Amino acid sequence: MSYGALIELLQTRLGLDPDSMGLATLRHGIDEACVSIGAPGPDKLLTCVLGSARDWRRFVDHMVVPETWFFRVNDQFEDLLRFVRQATQVPRPLRILSLPCATGEEAYSIAATLLSAGLTTRTFEILGIDVSERAVAAARDARYRKSALRGQTLDQAWFSWQGETFSPLPTCRNAVRFQVGNVLSPTLLAQEAPFDIIFCRNPLIYLDAPARVRLIDQLLRHLAPHGMVFSGQAEVLSNLDPRLQPAPGFGALSFIRKPQAAAVLPPDPRAFVVKRTPLQALHARASRAKRNTEQRPEEAVELATADSTTALALVQKDADAGRLEVARAGCVALLEHDRENANVWFLLAMIELADGALEAAEHAFSRASYLDPAHQEATQRRASLAARLGRADEAAQLRARARRIQSPETPQ
């Protein structure tokens, strides 16, 4: 009987710790795989999985633990929004990884959370990866039963029921892509840019010690410098690797890289003048990178020394006079000091809209409505832009939200 050889193969290829699942569970999974693949017993199954990549993948489908549900651990989704609120310095869509993604509930929960907060699918990307082909196929199919909610509330702005099952609506569904992959493979994410957020909940409890080291190395290799990792409830990453530490101000399962000691620099005598972030860093619009957006020195000092309300009024005055480049630079300067000012983001959006920069305008309107969910005009503008860009479903949802803001007591 080759039960032992099959378990050893799982440990070698997937880093599985046999004790984490128990011998009885493993033997049961092997017996199920024998039936599924058509092998008369473990000896023949071992021959099949060693000789056929397809049979190996089918075998793995029976040996993984795809336990997950929607909006699992609410505190982490609150931390997700807290991170996004602070990530205004990222001049591109946020990149989020769900690893392992199982059957997709976590990835779609992330998408719905961000969409409900006012972000658009143009401002974030979600990738779900799992070693199980069967799990990934279920994630792509995206049909779930009530049991996948575990008592959580389903937001019908992003999901719809069809009889006994529900599915994410197109806006939510199209925000996520899935692929099959082994988390321990060094080439798994070789073609991917770094991720700002990684959900990696509970795989470590099923791995042996060497595999845990390899997985954490993988996470750190593909985590953006400012990024955050959300772990499982039994996985305190800072106890496993000193390169990770709890994120200050976040929950106990949210981790960041340990900061490197910073060199002490002498004070900059020009610090009293507000510096402006280059426009291409804010919007990633290379065609505008060479434009001169600097204000005259006296204007910069006036803006830097004014209170926020007066400074915004000065920028508004430039915008009203058609001095769009100067007004844009003023908004960027204000945002460097207060990135969570919804009114500045809204003014910046209006400037971009007047200048025909629809993508930049949509991004800024999204930031304004996220930071101030009651900002009805920002939501209405987003709806108009979504319709203009051909995203009818998203436009309808945003119009409905604008109506709820205007008349919160009126059911929609």
Write the DSSP string, 260-294: PPPPP-PPPTTTTSPP---HHHHH--GGGTTS--P
**Mean of the per-residue pLDDT values of the chain:** 82
Same domain (yes/no): 245, 361? no
Check which CATH number belongs to the domain holding 196 and give it: 3.40.50.150
Same domain (yes/no): 200, 334? no
**Residue 367 within a domain:** yes
Q: How many other C-beta atoms lie within 10 A of the C-beta of residue 57?
A: 15
**Residue 45 within a domain:** yes
Same domain (yes/no): 109, 173? yes
Choose the weakest-confidence range: 53-57, 159-163, 280-284: 280-284
pLDDT at 258 over 50: yes
- Higher per-residue pLDDT: 1 or 38: 38
Residues 308-338 pLDDT 10s: 788 888 888 888 888 888 888 888 888 877 7
How much of the chain, in percent, has pLDDT values that exceed 90? 32
Model confidence band, residue 397 (pLDDT cutoffs 50, 70, 90): confident
Same domain (yes/no): 326, 178? no
* Coil, helix or strand at residue 211: helix
- CA atoms 284, 287, 291, 293: torsion sign: negative
Model confidence band, residue 382 (pLDDT cutoffs 50, 70, 90): confident
pLDDT computed for residue 90 by the predictor: 58
Same domain (yes/no): 248, 359? no
Same domain (yes/no): 287, 331? yes
Rg for the chain, CA atoms, rounded? 25
- Is the entire prediction scored with pTM above 0.85? no
Same domain (yes/no): 137, 174? yes
Same domain (yes/no): 134, 197? yes
Residues 1-10 have a mean pLDDT of 85
Q: Domain of 17?
A: 3-63
Same domain (yes/no): 195, 343? no
| Total domains present in the chain | 3
**Residue 392 within a domain:** no
Residues 78-128 pLDDT 10s: 999 999 888 755 567 899 999 999 999 999 999 999 999 888 888 899 999
pLDDT computed for residue 128 by the predictor: 96
pLDDT computed for residue 408 by the predictor: 61
**Residue 385 within a domain:** no
- Rounded CA-CA distance 43/40 in Å is 8
pLDDT computed for residue 101 by the predictor: 93
Same domain (yes/no): 203, 292? no
pLDDT computed for residue 294 by the predictor: 44
Helices (H), 52-150: 53-63, 74-86, 105-116, 133-141
Same domain (yes/no): 39, 137? no
pLDDT computed for residue 137 by the predictor: 94
pLDDT at 297 over 60: no
Check which CATH number belongs to the domain holding 354 and give it: 1.25.40.10
